[in-house]
Copies of this chain bind each other. A is one copy, B any other.
Amino acid sequence: MIEGHGDDSYRYQDIRLNFSSNIYSHADLDGLQAYLHDKMEVLSSYPEPEATTLAAELAQWHHIDPDCVMVTSGATEAIYLVAHAYNGQHTQVLQPTFREYADACVMNGCKVSAIYQLPTQCEKFRIDNRVDLLWICNPNNPTGNILDKSYLQNLIEANPQVTFIIDQSYEDFVMKPLFSASEALQYDNLLLLHSLTKRYCVPGIRLGYITAAPHLLRHLRTHKMPWSVNALAIEAGHYLLEHGIGGVPPISDYLQEAQRLRDSLIATGAVDVWETSTHFMLAQLRMGKASALKDWLAMQHGILIRDASNFDGLDNRFFRVAAQLPAENDCLVAAINEWMLT
């Protein structure tokens, strides 16, 4: 899907508060910017065809072997690469979730079906035996829901015939336990997707990676184009893994603020808000359309939210926001209160 995502501020004039992507807007990127400035000579040479030096650093970061890591142009390339490598297979997607899983699979001739609930212990965790591939976003975009790690372990072990793709793009914005890259490697049928874009609040740079058993990555590699990650993105990765970024609040404080935003949104009386285990949340208008609220907030207040009506299973009353600074979150709540009076 080319259009219809969040962070579409290019469609509006003068957006000053951006709640529409799941990125914290106040990270301090000065160190990264200074580093890239000093590395501009990389413009003059081809990047590594497969960003192997960065893959090696990520492997070290995760305490796993380099042949268990593949760097991609954002998690998006990872999604399209997996869909291509498993083209034509029967794919299931746990919905509602990020549209790209289903879109990439359809584009690659997969039979795609939606499920809204995974099998329970009573069902012996057994997935429909026609399914080859199952996509799970954890924590899930747009709901903020997290599946228990122990449940996922049971699910994966009970279905060795299924290849699981678990997108952990938001893994750094949760308190609950998730698969570590090394834990996930014990499974022959699990690909974990990760996002440096999300971890380091740099969506402009496009940098993600996959961790998985080497035989799974070897299969993906036969479907990968060279040079998908440009030289500045590779350099950014080198810097970020060593130095990180500043300005992001401790995760417990940030999630507490997200809960405060959720409570405040509910208190407006305008919306129901789903429970979330991360920094973003899914809200459902009691009256009116999310697209109308989005346009009104953008035009009247320079506030951008994510119209979530194009997620599978959701309707035109849904929108998604990610918590920002407390004062900004208060602005959003105040603006929604004002909108109710219009």
Q: Hey, which bits of chain A sit against chain B, CB under 8 A? A: 1-3, 5-7, 9-10, 18, 21, 23, 25, 27, 29, 32-33, 36-37, 40, 42-50, 53, 73-74, 76-77, 79-80, 84, 100, 104, 107, 201-206, 221-228, 230-233, 236
Q: How many copies does the complex hold?
A: 2
Chain B residues, Cβ within 8 Å of A21: 45-46
Q: Can you pick out 17 interface pairs between chain A and chain B where the beta carbons lie within 8 Å of each other?
A: A2-B49, A2-B50, A7-B46, A27-B44, A29-B44, A33-B37, A33-B43, A36-B36, A43-B204, A43-B205, A44-B204, A73-B73, A73-B227, A76-B226, A76-B228, A80-B225, A232-B233
Q: What B residues does A227 contact at CB under 8 A?
A: 73-74, 76, 206
Quick one: given A29-B43, A40-B29, A47-B206, are A224 and B2 in contact (CB under 8 Å)?
yes
CB distance from A315 to the nearest CB of B (A): 23
Please state if A107 and B222 are interface contacts (CB–CB under 8 Å): yes
Q: Which residues of the partner chain B approach A223 to less than 8 Å between Cβ atoms?
A: 107
Partner of A232, one of B2, B76, B232: B232
Which residues of B lie under 8 Å from residue A201 when comparing CB positions?
44
Chain B nearest CB from A142 CB (Å) reads 15
Partner of A230, one of B33, B73, B224: B73
* B-chain residues with CB within 8 Å of residue A107 when the two chains form the complex: 84, 222-223
Asked whether, in the complex, the Cβ of A206 is within 8 Å of the Cβ of B230, the reply is yes
Contacts of A10 in B (CB 8 A): 48, 53
Complex contact A45–B204 (CB within 8 A): yes
Contact of A228 with B25 in the complex, beta carbons under 8 Å: no
Question: A206 contacts which chain B residues (CB < 8 A)?
Answer: 47, 227-228, 230
**Prevailing SS type, chain A contact patch:** loop
Q: How many Å lie between the Cα of A192 and that of B21 in the bound state?
A: 35
Once bound together, how far apart are the Cα atoms of A21 and B36, in whole Å?
24
> Measured between alpha carbons, how far is A161 from B136 in the docked complex, in Å?
43
Contact among B42, B226, B231 for A1, CB-based, below 8 A: B226
Most B Cβ at <10 Å: residue of A33, A49, A224, A233? A49
Distance (whole angstroms) from the CB of A196 to the closest CB of chain B: 12
Question: Smallest CB–CB gap between A165 and chain B, Å?
Answer: 16
- In this complex, what residue of B is CB-closest to A104? B225
| B47 and A36 within 8 A (CB) | no
- Residues on B with C-beta less than 8 A from A23 are 44
A44 touches B226 (CB 8 A): no
Minimal beta-carbon separation of A193 from chain B (angstroms): 14
User: How far is the CB of A304 from the nearest CB of chain B, in Å?
Assistant: 10
Q: Which residues of B contact A80 (CB under 8 A)?
A: 225
Please tell me which one of the listed residues B202, B204, B225 contacts residue A76 in the complex, with CB atoms under 8 A apart.
B225
In the complex, which residue of chain B has the Cβ closest to the Cβ of A226? Answer: B2
Inter-subunit contact B225/A204 (CB<8 Å): no
Chain B residue numbers with a CB within 8 Å of A202 are: 43-44
B46–A226 touching, CB < 8 Å: no
Report the minimum CB–CB distance from A154 to chain B (whole Å). Answer: 33
Complex CA gap A80/B227 in Å reads 12
Asked if B228 and A73 make an inter-chain contact with CB atoms under 8 angstroms apart, the answer reads yes
Q: For the complex, what is the distance from the CA of A84 to the CA of B108, rounded to whole Å?
A: 9
Q: Please pick, from B37, B53, B204, the residue contacting A231 in the complex, using a CB distance under 8 A.
A: B204
Q: How far is the CA of A223 from the CA of B87 in the complex (A)?
A: 13
